[in-house]
A and B are shown apart, each in its own frame.
Chain A
Amino acid sequence: MLSRAAPSKGLRLLCATVFLCLGHVASRADAPFVVDEWRFGTQETNATLRYCIDARDPDWPVARKIAAAVAAALLLRGEEYLIGDDPRSADMSGDDLDDTYRALIQHCDVFFGFKLVPDAYPGWITITRPYYRSTYVYVVADPAWKSLGDIPTTLAIGATIGTGADMRLTQYILAVPADKRWDKYPMSSDEAALRAVMRGTTAAALVWAPALWALRKTDAGIAKLPEMASSPLPVSTADVGAILLSRQMFLRSSLDQAIASLTADGTVAGILKDENFPGTPEPP
């Protein structure tokens, strides 16, 4: 871990600490509009890494441990802000990330648990290197189906709306002749997709493996649903990391170094293993 790092790394950590002292100096070029933004001042401590964890994320217990490890690696006191049961952004009019912006100016320097989708973020956000990679998985009611190709095209696949895997499945469906297509039903959440399988509305559900991991711990019915292979489609994966304001370039560099060190020394792998989590450090 970086707490045992060489002096040169320690110097960088000191620089990161100094940078945190500067707080956020607004650059409003393309940042969202937040009412009375002046109310959100800079933090007064210079030895704290304030990080947000979203309890609505299925992987939040893992994100929490990794965030704490990152703070420790940076020789900073970790200060967690747990976003609770707030309603999700209420429409898709482009305001969705405004909430994230508000969290980043009000509560935290870095927000853990974001899939690193290319071109999906506006310029005011920068992303760290990933700390794990996970997959999207197909879950079925009938264990006789071993892969997606086994499912009759007279049946429907349920997919959580708009994920990268959903879009790849859609592209596949569009590419094959009509008589070789499954119907695809968009589902509002991973849980809704899984429950549609249990009800028989769909033959399979395409869901994010960490969501399945979390739901299996609390729902015996979902825990019994078997997974199947994605062939003829390749396995869809997504890398997960953290986001922060793009003006925090030095902090991002420090976070990247910390994540790299925690990956290299096996800390991330240990956390994933302890949680029996369906992910691998990135790079493994």
Chain B
Amino acid sequence: MPASNISSSRFWTATILGFPLLLLAGAPAQAQPAQVADPMKNMRLVTDEMLLHPDPGDWLMWRRTYDGFGFSPLNQINKANVKDLQVAWAWSLTNGATESTPIVHDGILYIWNYADKVQALNAATGDLIWEYRRELPQAIIDLAGNIMAKRNMAIYQDKLVIATSDAHLVALDAKTGDVVWDHETADWHKGWRYTSGPFIVDGMVLQGMTGCGNAEPGGCFITAHDFKTGDEKWRVWTIAHPDDPNFNTWNGLPLESRFGASAWVAGSFDPDQNLVFYGVGQPYPWIAEMRGTLPKKKNAPSITNTSLYSDSTLAIDPATGKVKWYHQYLQDDTWDLDYVYERMLIDLPLNGATRKMVVTTGKLGIIEALDRTTGEWLWAKQTVPQNVVAKIDDKTGEKTINQAAIPHIGQTTVNCPADPGGRGWPATAYNPTTQTLFLPLNEFCSNTTPTPLDPGQAYTGGGRAIFARMLVPNSDGNVGRIDAIKLTDRSTTWSFRTRAPSTGAVLPTAGGVVFAGAWDRYFRAWDDATGKVLWQIRTNNAINGFPVSYSVNGKQYVAVSVGNGSSHAKSLATLTPEITAPDGGSVLWVFALPDTK
């Protein structure tokens, strides 16, 4: 037989013999339909009803539900079996500040990557379904920092709505990632930007603006947009403007001399009242003597210096933008002590009656409750050591400020806490079944020295101080804390303390477990009743995102993003220089229990 024919014969023999092997080789893949199935085919439109009452396995908004609890009703992972938790899959994210909250719907997980990349992943397998990359101006990329991190996105009907680093709102087709509409809200050249994402209520996209310290007068704003087009419907200014009855709260300063009051965290929604609740940050520059609200204006009894609506809750009609009521927690903030974070809508007994409350915790670590129908102040509970508030009136909530803690030009004062706060943007969460609030906290103080900010023109724009952070007096060296507070009597159920600063949000679940992580890369699960650590894993980088839990085909998962670059984490890390995190390696980690046979 000619050599060539032999070869040919061998080829065909091998092919014929090998064909079944190829089929067999393909069999295992076919036996794992979850890896190849396209969950998009079965994805349902996200309805108003779903947002009001989400499926237990879905995570449809930043804090999962309109009440802002950040609680998962899933209980497959529980106190008994959480010790068996293992990595289900992981997905590398773009390096950079990673403060993301995944959105999960019908087996699809949407994740924000640093620098405006959004991905849709198969939530069971981690397989990429689609990816959207925004082409950002090089100047924004060069600014780097936190600017290109986003803490949340929003989903509604067939669209995923995102806020971009160049101050646009963009609606993406949730099934394809295609851009449906793109609306410019403000000029990024002037420093406007977004660090958190949209909040969708009744077909309106609500979004708070930040970047208001960049020498742009008049402060920040919250806008509402038509969900179908992105067109702006209303705008609420977070600093009192001349047509506002509270215009006289800025020590007589003209509008062009008022700065700050960023609305840099998404809101909550009370459908019974048809009200959204947004927090507002501090006025700029941080030091009151720099921004002109101190000294108090002379001979002007009708003029105050409370600097409204900084450090306040705004209760807003989402249809009209009308502010029904407001409450200011900290007047004329001169420390950078935001009260901007999540607003939880909790019904609790108080003096024999159930009160509809809105509960929030500011950077001071003071938990405060208002009546969310009226704005009436109800109670406060302190957590971390602080020396700014000397007394809180138990009837009105009015705070008496420790005068020794007020920074003055030419002096150094000791502030506990200071920037970046006894709690920062990593969110607290609430388990409604146990009526327990869980908080990621940090204990520290700062020597605060107001400093001229004009050493170079490249960063002129406002005022600031040098914060020389240090441990609290008589500290045992621990900085990070996770506290569990029973809100019915405001008792501390447990407090887990650790050297590493707390840098991630908390996630309580119906399984009786609380998840959270820290700067030292540990992601942990605690018994929600005792604070006992039930499971922990050391990941590749700082836990710096918002953990969520979801289920696909009856299997519960816990997902959390990690990464380095957040200014919040970096600031806290100065307290523990011996604990470092790698400068690269942002990752979405997803955990689950092993499959049972």
- Distance in angstroms from B368 CB to nearest chain A CB is 23
The answer on a CB contact under 8 Å between A120 and B285 is no
The answer on a CB contact under 8 Å between A100 and B463 is no
Q: Which residues of B contact A196 (CB under 8 A)?
A: 254, 256
The answer on a CB contact under 8 Å between B143 and A57 is no
Q: Which of B286, B292, B449 contacts A185 (CB 8 A)?
A: B292
The answer on a CB contact under 8 Å between A114 and B462 is no
Stretch in A69-77, A79-87, A220-228, A261-269 with 4+ CB within 8 Å of B: A79-87
- Distance in angstroms from A204 CB to nearest chain B CB is 14
Interface positions, chain A 91-105, Cβ under 8 Å from B, are 91-100, 102
A175 to B584, CA, bound (A): 50
Q: Which of B96, B464, B467 contacts A35 (CB 8 A)?
A: B96
Chain A CB within 10 Å, residue with most, of B147, B456, B464: B456
Q: Which of B147, B450, B458 contacts A90 (CB 8 A)?
A: B147
Q: Which residues of A contact B454 (CB under 8 A)?
A: 115, 117, 160, 162-164, 208, 238
Answer whether residue A109 sits at the interface, using C-beta atoms and an 8 A cutoff.
no
Answer whether residue B348 sits at the interface, using C-beta atoms and an 8 A cutoff.
no
Q: Which residues of B contact A170 (CB under 8 A)?
A: 289-290, 409
CB-nearest residue of chain B relative to A112? Answer: B456
Answer whether residue B405 sits at the interface, using C-beta atoms and an 8 A cutoff.
no
The answer on a CB contact under 8 Å between A87 and B189 is yes
- Distance in angstroms from B470 CB to nearest chain A CB is 15
Stretch in A12-20, A141-149, A186-194 with 4+ CB within 8 Å of B: A186-194
The answer on a CB contact under 8 Å between B214 and A87 is yes
How many chain B residues touch A (Cβ–Cβ < 8 Å)?
A: 72
The answer on a CB contact under 8 Å between B144 and A189 is no
CB-nearest residue of chain A relative to B138? Answer: A86
- Distance in angstroms from A96 CB to nearest chain B CB is 4
Answer whether residue A219 sits at the interface, using C-beta atoms and an 8 A cutoff.
no
Evaluate whether A167 and B409 lie within 8 angstroms (CB atoms) in the complex, with A35-B96, A87-B190, A99-B142 already known.
yes
Q: Which residues of B contact A100 (CB under 8 A)?
A: 456, 458-459
CB-nearest residue of chain B relative to A101? Answer: B144
Q: Which of A117, A186, A187, A201 contacts B455 (CB 8 A)?
A: A117
A90 to B186, CA, bound (A): 13
A121 to B176, CA, bound (A): 48
A201 to B254, CA, bound (A): 8
Answer whether residue B268 sits at the interface, using C-beta atoms and an 8 A cutoff.
no
Q: Which residues of A contact B570 (CB under 8 A)?
A: 32-33
The answer on a CB contact under 8 Å between B459 and A97 is yes
The answer on a CB contact under 8 Å between B462 and A162 is yes
Q: Which residues of B contact A34 (CB under 8 A)?
A: 144
The answer on a CB contact under 8 Å between B284 and A117 is no
A65 to B170, CA, bound (A): 45
Q: Which residues of A contact B583 (CB under 8 A)?
A: 33, 35, 37
CB-nearest residue of chain B relative to A184? Answer: B292
Chain B CB within 10 Å, residue with most, of A32, A85, A89: A89
- Distance in angstroms from A182 CB to nearest chain B CB is 10
Evaluate whether A113 and B456 lie within 8 angstroms (CB atoms) in the complex, with A92-B464, A95-B145, A174-B295 already known.
yes
The answer on a CB contact under 8 Å between B215 and A161 is yes
- Distance in angstroms from A143 CB to nearest chain B CB is 24
CB-nearest residue of chain B relative to A116? Answer: B455
Evaluate whether A181 and B295 lie within 8 angstroms (CB atoms) in the complex, with A87-B188, A167-B450 already known.
yes
- Distance in angstroms from B34 CB to nearest chain A CB is 34
A120 to B191, CA, bound (A): 23
Answer whether residue A274 sits at the interface, using C-beta atoms and an 8 A cutoff.
no
Evaluate whether A161 and B458 lie within 8 angstroms (CB atoms) in the complex, with A91-B211, A92-B213, A98-B145 already known.
no
Evaluate whether A92 and B285 lie within 8 angstroms (CB atoms) in the complex, with A87-B188, A100-B459, A184-B292 already known.
yes
Proximity string of chain A (17-40) to chain B, C-beta cutoff 8 Å, 1 when within and 0 when not: 000000000000010111111000
Chain A CB within 10 Å, residue with most, of B147, B252, B450, B462: B462
Answer whether residue A119 sits at the interface, using C-beta atoms and an 8 A cutoff.
yes
Answer whether residue B95 sits at the interface, using C-beta atoms and an 8 A cutoff.
yes
Evaluate whether A164 and B458 lie within 8 angstroms (CB atoms) in the complex, with A87-B188, A91-B213, A174-B295 already known.
no
- Distance in angstroms from A79 CB to nearest chain B CB is 19
The answer on a CB contact under 8 Å between A95 and B254 is no
The answer on a CB contact under 8 Å between A95 and B146 is yes
Answer whether residue B554 sits at the interface, using C-beta atoms and an 8 A cutoff.
no
Q: Which residues of B contact A117 (CB under 8 A)?
A: 451-452, 454-455
Evaluate whether A120 and B450 lie within 8 angstroms (CB atoms) in the complex, with A90-B191, A99-B143, A162-B290 already known.
no
A102 to B139, CA, bound (A): 12
A98 to B216, CA, bound (A): 21
A115 to B459, CA, bound (A): 12
The answer on a CB contact under 8 Å between B458 and A183 is no
The answer on a CB contact under 8 Å between A36 and B409 is no
Q: Which residues of A contact B217 (CB under 8 A)?
A: 188, 192
Q: Which residues of B contact A30 (CB under 8 A)?
A: 574
Answer whether residue B238 sits at the interface, using C-beta atoms and an 8 A cutoff.
no
Q: Which residues of B contact A273 (CB under 8 A)?
A: none
The answer on a CB contact under 8 Å between B456 and A92 is no
A92 to B213, CA, bound (A): 7
A183 to B250, CA, bound (A): 12
The answer on a CB contact under 8 Å between A167 and B456 is no
Answer whether residue A8 sits at the interface, using C-beta atoms and an 8 A cutoff.
no
Q: Which residues of B contact A158 (CB under 8 A)?
A: 257
Q: Which residues of B contact A192 (CB under 8 A)?
A: 215, 217, 256
Answer whether residue A88 sits at the interface, using C-beta atoms and an 8 A cutoff.
yes
CB-nearest residue of chain A relative to B298? Answer: A178
A183 to B215, CA, bound (A): 20
Q: Which residues of B contact A278 (CB under 8 A)?
A: none
The answer on a CB contact under 8 Å between B419 and A166 is no
Answer whether residue A282 sits at the interface, using C-beta atoms and an 8 A cutoff.
no
Evaluate whether A88 and B452 lie within 8 angstroms (CB atoms) in the complex, with A183-B297, A201-B256 already known.
no
Evaluate whether A162 and B456 lie within 8 angstroms (CB atoms) in the complex, with A102-B142, A173-B295, A181-B295 already known.
no
Q: Which residues of A contact B460 (CB under 8 A)?
A: 88, 160-161, 189
Q: Which residues of A contact B213 (CB under 8 A)?
A: 90-92
Q: Which residues of B contact A44 (CB under 8 A)?
A: none
CB-nearest residue of chain A relative to B586? Answer: A35
Q: Which of B144, B188, B190 contacts A98 (CB 8 A)?
A: B144
A196 to B217, CA, bound (A): 13
The answer on a CB contact under 8 Å between A96 and B285 is no
Evaluate whether A120 and B143 lie within 8 angstroms (CB atoms) in the complex, with A90-B211, A161-B291, A166-B290 already known.
no
The answer on a CB contact under 8 Å between A92 and B462 is yes
The answer on a CB contact under 8 Å between A90 and B143 is yes
A80 to B567, CA, bound (A): 30
Q: Which residues of B contact A160 (CB under 8 A)?
A: 454, 460
- Distance in angstroms from A233 CB to nearest chain B CB is 14
Interface positions, chain B 391-436, Cβ under 8 Å from A, are 408-410, 419-420
The answer on a CB contact under 8 Å between B257 and A162 is no
Q: Which residues of A contact B143 (CB under 8 A)?
A: 86-87, 89-90, 99
Proximity string of chain A (116-138) to chain B, C-beta cutoff 8 Å, 1 when within and 0 when not: 11011100000000000000000
Answer whether residue A243 sits at the interface, using C-beta atoms and an 8 A cutoff.
yes
A238 to B452, CA, bound (A): 11
21 CB-based A-B contacts, threshold 8 Å: A30-B574, A33-B564, A35-B583, A57-B456, A58-B457, A87-B214, A89-B214, A94-B419, A95-B146, A100-B456, A161-B461, A161-B462, A164-B454, A166-B452, A171-B409, A184-B292, A185-B256, A186-B259, A188-B461, A189-B460, A238-B454
For the complex of A and B, 4 pairs with smallest distance between CB atoms: A188-B215, A96-B459, A162-B463, A114-B456
Q: A94-B464, A201-B254 are in contact. List 5 more A-B contacts (CB 8 A).
A: A87-B143, A94-B419, A115-B454, A161-B285, A185-B253
Interface residues of A (CB under 8 A from B): 30, 32-37, 54, 56-58, 83, 85-100, 102, 111, 113-117, 119-121, 158, 160-164, 166-167, 170-171, 173-174, 178-179, 181, 183-189, 192, 196, 201, 208, 238, 243
